[in-house]
Structure 1
């Protein structure tokens, strides 16, 4: 497979269409009309990194096509490849970002981290902004506000789940890669998307690489969250064992917020429950120290004026 001709590489411009095979395949598989957009000129960055940007058009609802209720949307893909190998027939690695709700990370120049390793192993890397994020028809308060009702908004958002993301990936695989099998790398929610991909299109995948806790297939939400609560209780116990001076501070902050919640600089209100959501940090590798540092800053920072008026929503001590 040749991605771009030699002349195009020299000119560093995208062709009008990457592969004629793509659109015909998509029409046959009910993905609707697939287009290739020359969104920007290709760039060669330090570290022999060639970066190209692709935009394809897919239906919001893959089940009915672009003529359906919500029409179509754009999916943005950034391609990374060593400039010296840009014309080679390389295996393709598609990265699925964690979240949900976050675009793929932007490349560094020279490449670093896992992208450096993938390129060194001979992959052509595709960074997908999952639908609704980044440059893939982002879902915003403004875009949702254009819909007629909350019910309409909810119906629209049902098309931004893993099953739709995976079908976008299939559009990318056929429209940009000529139907070539993909190696998938999934981080967190991206790994959950890979499980959906393996369920729906197993023949499309060369290999799947996970960097996440495997989804609890066959387990109920009650079982999963019950186990999660037990794990968080243990993490809280270990945190306060390491930083016993934070016990009383957390209790003081919770009591203060219960009596007088605080207005936050960017809007919203800091309530006891919102404060206690900092406990999410305890699930990360350096979370104990990060949480302790935040509490230390709270201890040293002059207190802002309260919003005035108490708000319910969760008192009590508990972990950070």
Structure 2
């Protein structure tokens, strides 16, 4: 008898939430390693949602009322799904006749979440690294296919395939799905996720560091006084924290390098103001008390999610490793240190060497220093080093197959600091049949911040004709 690839462990009774959504909670069991299906298993959590309708005449139980599934592929890697009532897909897609499935990837949300504590149960650093090698997009797609086959086993053929909607890292996962299991897909939507198919993190960072430099210039143009204020705050951090940094409430340390990680906000709507407001808050503390208040340190600590979602830092560079034969080797550090704007990533850098030049913030890069200063990541430094040295990553994409793609693909590409627009165009040219809405007026997270524009464009690509 063939092994069970995925098993539905439980399904809750449907319950109603605001927005007229009927929600179910589902738990699945899948192999940790799909190439060894009879060994260790893990659990995956999902919620499904449909528009609640109370018809005048109830349909016959014999009628097939199952709507086709639309699966949301979350960004990250590392973050679980929102509740259905908080997902923009509930508002814009359920009226189209779908049943929305929000499946937490393995290692995220409620699906065997990765933390320093849960990884300790796996073993030492080498065992942890080997475990995490099974948490990239190639294995996530196998989970998705296993769950699809389980959920649609008794459905008619026209409902066995499902639609996917991938945001950011979810878009990268969608392209992996299109590469290796397109037979399971009816259509694919991709927003902010047309990442390069054959460039590793070092090559990608060459582009994204340039985008980040542009956003820094926009920041200092909007807030020119912050050129001096940021450097002053950085000097006070060194004065108050010494070599180690200023202690944070959860156990890590605020250092100059951590301060400059706030630039990850520059890639989203309101990101310049978000960083400026925190700088103002920090300066106000220093002006009045010559220390940072707990509220300010807590605001800084909560701004970046490394401690609550360490898988983001652990797998950030590995998620760009498109195939075997090379290692990431802390590409964020190597590329950044080669740029004059990021001299502060070098070991011999001093604040006084800047002169009149501004301190530039980094974006979504994950340099190694985070594993010295973040309370959760400190415990995983050896594991991260092993992953950074690994050079036998499985392939993430089949470029030849994408060039013959027959699944309808609808994508949105933006003025994007995280997924370079030039690389996105190159990727789009390599996917047969893709339709792309491109704009420089929206940012990476537009599916959440400007959903009216994004969904209107995507559904127009799907439903209208181009002559």
TM-score by length of 2: 0.57
SS of 1:90's partner is coil
Partner SS, residue 223 of structure 1: helix
Distance in 1 separating the partners of 2:17 and 2:163:
24
**Residue 42 (structure 2) pairs with residue 65 (structure 1):** no
2:258 to 265, 274, 277: 274
What is the Cα deviation at residue 147 of structure 1? Answer: 2.5
CA 1:91–1:40: 2 relative to 1, 3 Å: closer
In structure 1, the partner of 2:234 is 254
Per chain length, whose mean CA-contact separation is higher, i.e. which structure has more relative contact order (CA < 8 Å, sep 6+)?
2
Is structure 2 residue 219 aligned with structure 1 residue 219?
Answer: no
1:135 is matched with: 110
| 3-state SS of 2:10 partner | coil
Structure 1 residues 203-250: Cα deviation after superposition (integer angstroms, max 9, x where no partner): 111111011141112334333211212221121112111111111111
- Structure 1 contact 282–288 (Cα < 8 Å) conserved: yes
Give me the whole-angstrom Cα distance separating, in 1, the residues matched to 2:136 and 2:113: 14
Deviations 1:29-79 (A, max 9, x none): x6x453222353321233332111111110000111132xxx000011111
Q: What is the CA–CA distance in structure 2 between the aligned matches of 1:227 and 1:176, rounded to whole Å?
A: 41
User: Per-residue deviation at 1:81?
Assistant: 1.1
Deviation at 1:140, TM superposition (A): 2.2
**Number of residues of Structure 1 aligned to a counterpart in Structure 2:** 282
SS at match of 1:36: strand
Q: Structure 1 79/315 Cα, relative in aligned 2: closer, same or farther at 3 Å?
A: farther
Structure 1 segment 115-126 matched on structure 2, within 5 A: 115-126=90-101
* 2:28 alignment partner, SS class: strand
Contact 1:58 1:168 in 2 (8 A): yes
Q: Secondary structure at the match of 2:46?
A: strand
Runs of at least 5 residues in structure 2 that lack an aligned partner in the other structure: 154-158, 294-345, 352-357, 362-467
> Alpha carbons of 1:253 and 1:42: their partners in 2 closer, same or farther (altered >3 Å)?
same
Q: In the TM superposition, what is the alpha-carbon distance from 1:182 to its structure 2 partner?
A: 1.2
Q: Does structure 1 conserve the Cα–Cα contact (< 8 Å) formed by 2:10 and 2:28?
A: no
User: 2:77 aligned with 1:77, yes or no?
Assistant: no
- Residue matched to 2:178: 198
Provide the secondary structure at the position in 2 that maps to 1:155. Answer: helix
Aligned partners of 1:174, 1:38: CA distance in 2, in Å? 16
Map 1:1-320 to 2 at 5 A: 28=2, 32-67=4-39, 71-84=40-53, 88-108=65-85, 113-178=88-153, 180-259=160-239, 260=241, 261-301=245-285, 302-304=289-291, 315-316=350-351, 317-320=358-361
Q: Answer whether contact 1:240 1:246 (CA < 8 A) is retained.
A: yes
CA contact (8 A) 2:282 2:292 kept: no
Contact 2:169 2:193 in 1 (8 A): no
SS of corresponding position for 1:206: strand
Alignment deviations for residues 245-279 of structure 1 (CA, whole Å, 9 cap, x no partner): 11111111222223432111111111111110011
Deviations 1:292-320 (CA, angstroms, capped at 9, x unpaired): 111111121244379xxxxx966435224
| Aligned-partner SS, 1:191 | helix
CA distance in 2, matches of 1:280, 1:184: 27
Gaps of 5+ in 1: 1-26, 307-311
